[in-house]
Structure 1
Amino acid sequence: MTSPALPTIGLAGDLMLRRPLADDAFDRRPGLAAARDAILACDLMIANLEMPLSRRGYRVPKHSNLRSDPEVIWSVRELGVLAVTLANNHMMDYGPEAMFDTLAACDEAGIARCGAGLDLDAALAPAWLTTQGTKVALLSVASTLPVESDAGPGKPGIAPLRVRFSFEVDTNLLAEQPGTVPPVRSWPEPGDLERVCDQVRRARREADVVIVGIHWGVPPHWLSPYLGLLAEYQQPLAHALIEAGADVIAGHHSHCLHPIEWYRGKPIFYSLGNFLFEDPPAFMEPESVLVRLKAGAPPVVELVPLLLDEDGFPALASGPEATRVVEKLRAMSASYGCAIEERGGGWAVCPA
């Protein structure tokens, strides 16, 4: 008896559309059309929906606020995205009403969603999808938590995985190098980590593939260069989720590529960059990737390099541009046990 073919699961980065795509968007933007074709070649594509979709709510006082029209969800569907993670630092930008409208918009468009809900249990609950006979559990949590955005018992919000932190002040160093930024020590909040790991273990018992999307980390313009690309809490958090039963970790939030790690035979994508970020701020980097994954043993992972244009729309990178994207990711991933090799005209991700 022939075993059924494993489905191709796609992972994309942050998705932020300010307005619905125009009817001729794919004609006017051939790069976007090609990126959509790469998505449609997957059996299931997952992205992080970076903004609430609503005309209601109030602007919450915070560093930056995002919101789009509910009609945008049909453009998300037109792009080929079939599931979205919602636990991020913008989902509650206009309060619970706007978040509820986002849930309703996803449901109306037939897009699976997770990471936000009426209370903590609803926010932590996985989205369940079946593709080619393979049962996929998708979970979404966030460590980037604006005040009062976290869900709780009887409280709407996003699924929290809080981080504790402290500053390590070296008075001798500051005397010799005044103005030096003190190192930031950070670690996952133990109760939150155990709660999320328990959700992963439960999903593992029923699912063929368990994917965890995490909004975490620090964008590069806020990170002191000598502290490295990752915040201290990220690697132990990712390892704990893999040990609990996750097959893949898909990171978002930094708006740039971060390393890929192989841990216990499973890939950790610390940040996939932006997939589509309309009218991006100047600090955002244009390099990104789509991931194509067949979650066997071992998993088969391929990268599709992308470059975003000045409007924040993706196009497939090719030739020297694709090599530049891959080389950037390869260099930062080498110390994390990850190699990226050119195979059959594509880019394979494998243990080093």
Structure 2
Amino acid sequence: MARSNLSLVAVGDLVPTRRLWRDGAPVDREFAKTVDRLHSADVVFGDLEMPLSVRGTPREKMITFRADPAIAEDLRLVGFDILSLANNHSMDFGEEALLDTVAALDSQGIRQVGAGKDIHMATAPVVTEVNGWKLGFAAWSSLLPVGSAAGERRPGHAPLHVTSAYEVSAHHEMEEPAHPPVVRSWPQAAELQSAVQCVAELRNRVDFVAASVHWGYGFGTDIAEYQPTIAHALIDAGADIVIGNHVHAIHAVEVYKGKAILYSPGNFISQQPREGEPPEVLAIYEQMSPDGYLATAEIEPGGRYQLRLTPITMDDVGLPVLADGPRLQRIVDRLELVCSQVGTRLGVQDGTVEVQLG
């Protein structure tokens, strides 16, 4: 019997520090409408950007946070099937807290990718079977605080280290001293080759491959030089879609060889704790965009897919609600701006943005 279409929903960054479910339902009526969109999908993927643990001590870094492991149950109820742990926060409270996160998600049947008890577990892809389909997921992080990359005997993330260099123009310095340098960046060759090999091997085992990378910087619209290098290499190796995350803002959707690169879908849950944080951290939170989108890939039996983006924005407690009115227009304008920078054509109808892949 022929397979029917399969729908995959991918979202951006999740920082849930409060319970999401109460008395058998989502904690908020408008949030429930977003949850309904996730429940209508066959598979839901996101980036859990924090540990779920009461153990460990905070690492020496600017921002650290964690949440009660009980939130894992809420993430299941919201609809998540697979979560990436490859990011710069899931090791905020050390190895114990990371492994507690894995255990909490395991207890709810939520698969994880991109982190684990050693480099082999961290870089291992996940294969899930749904309605006769096999989908493969793999994840890496290019944001790697000291000690967070997994090793042979060390828990941590799947690493994709990046080198940066700063190119200064002598001509600019003569006529405009202090002219900002051009930032060059490139992924570490051996780690990129390992990621490429992972995707190529996964391609032979499944019907659809999704690759996730934690990358980028800032809250503007810029894409770092290394990001397309990684994304194109993963698609060349067999990935059907590349799902970026980290910058807490909507970045471009690029179309490469008929496949989508979501440089950043923005926020999905944004509940960073503010009490007791220093002014420099609060300033970062104030700059964060409240916006994001749900990316729905409607996959046909042959592997081709249609891609729709449903704009969302955070409510006053950091939960995602479907954007409407001026908030919807703000997000559509943002998408049109950032996508035009990479030559991607969009269509807008009834509050949904369709990405022209072909």
Q: Same fold (TM over 0.5)?
A: yes
- 2:103 maps to amino acid: A
Which of the residues 284, 291, 304 maps onto 1:287?
291
Q: Deviations over 1:296-334 (max 9, x none)?
A: 343111111101123321110124432331221122112
Q: Normalization by structure 1: what TM-score?
A: 0.93
- 2:289 maps to amino acid: E
How do residues 159-308 of structure 1 correspond to structure 2 at under 5 angstroms? Answer: 159-220=158-219, 229-279=222-272, 281-296=285-300, 297-308=303-314
Matched, 1:322 2:321: no
Are the structure 2 counterparts of residues 305 and 26 from structure 1 closer, same or farther at C-alpha, using a change threshold of 3 Å? Answer: farther
Shift of 1:345: 6.3
- 2:173 maps to amino acid: L
- 1:60 maps to amino acid: R
Shift of 1:237: 1.0
Shift of 1:265: 0.8
Do the aligned partners of 1:216 and 1:254 also contact (CA within 8 Å) in 2?
yes
Q: Normalization by structure 2: what TM-score?
A: 0.91
Do the aligned partners of 2:20 and 2:27 also contact (CA within 8 Å) in 1?
no
SS at 2:22's partner residue?
Answer: coil
- 1:136 maps to amino acid: L
CA RMSD across the alignment? 1.8
Matched, 1:138 2:137: yes
| Partner residue, 2:108 | 109
The 2-side partners of 1:22 and 1:248 are apart by: 31
Do the aligned partners of 1:261 and 1:268 also contact (CA within 8 Å) in 2?
yes
The 1-side partners of 2:64 and 2:188 are apart by: 26
SS at 1:89's partner residue?
Answer: coil
SS at 1:328's partner residue?
Answer: helix
Do the aligned partners of 1:219 and 1:253 also contact (CA within 8 Å) in 2?
no
The 2-side partners of 1:40 and 1:272 are apart by: 19
Structure 2 unmatched ranges of 5 or more: 274-284
Q: Which runs of 4+ in 1 moved over 6 A?
A: none
How do residues 27-106 of structure 1 correspond to structure 2 at under 5 angstroms? Answer: 29-106=28-105
| Partner residue, 1:5 | 4
Shift of 1:20: 2.1
The 2-side partners of 1:28 and 1:159 are apart by: 34
SS at 1:220's partner residue?
Answer: coil
The 2-side partners of 1:311 and 1:253 are apart by: 20
Do the aligned partners of 1:20 and 1:74 also contact (CA within 8 Å) in 2?
no
The 1-side partners of 2:5 and 2:130 are apart by: 9
The 1-side partners of 2:326 and 2:352 are apart by: 13
Are the structure 2 counterparts of residues 135 and 28 from structure 1 closer, same or farther at C-alpha, using a change threshold of 3 Å? Answer: closer
| Partner residue, 2:278 | none
- 1:350 maps to amino acid: Q
Aligned residues: 345
- 1:236 maps to amino acid: T
The 2-side partners of 1:326 and 1:119 are apart by: 41
Moved more, 176-185 or 193-202: 176-185
Identity %: 37
The 2-side partners of 1:337 and 1:263 are apart by: 10
Shift of 1:173: 2.0
The 2-side partners of 1:268 and 1:132 are apart by: 25
The 1-side partners of 2:305 and 2:60 are apart by: 43
Which of the residues 343, 348, 351 maps onto 1:337?
343
Do the aligned partners of 1:74 and 1:109 also contact (CA within 8 Å) in 2?
yes
Shift of 1:25: 9.5
Structure 1 unmatched ranges of 5 or more: 222-227
Do the aligned partners of 1:39 and 1:80 also contact (CA within 8 Å) in 2?
yes
Q: Deviations over 1:208-256 (max 9, x none)?
A: 11101110000227xxxxxx61011111110000000000100000000
Shift of 1:179: 3.4
Are the structure 2 counterparts of residues 292 and 27 from structure 1 closer, same or farther at C-alpha, using a change threshold of 3 Å? Answer: closer
Shift of 1:258: 0.3
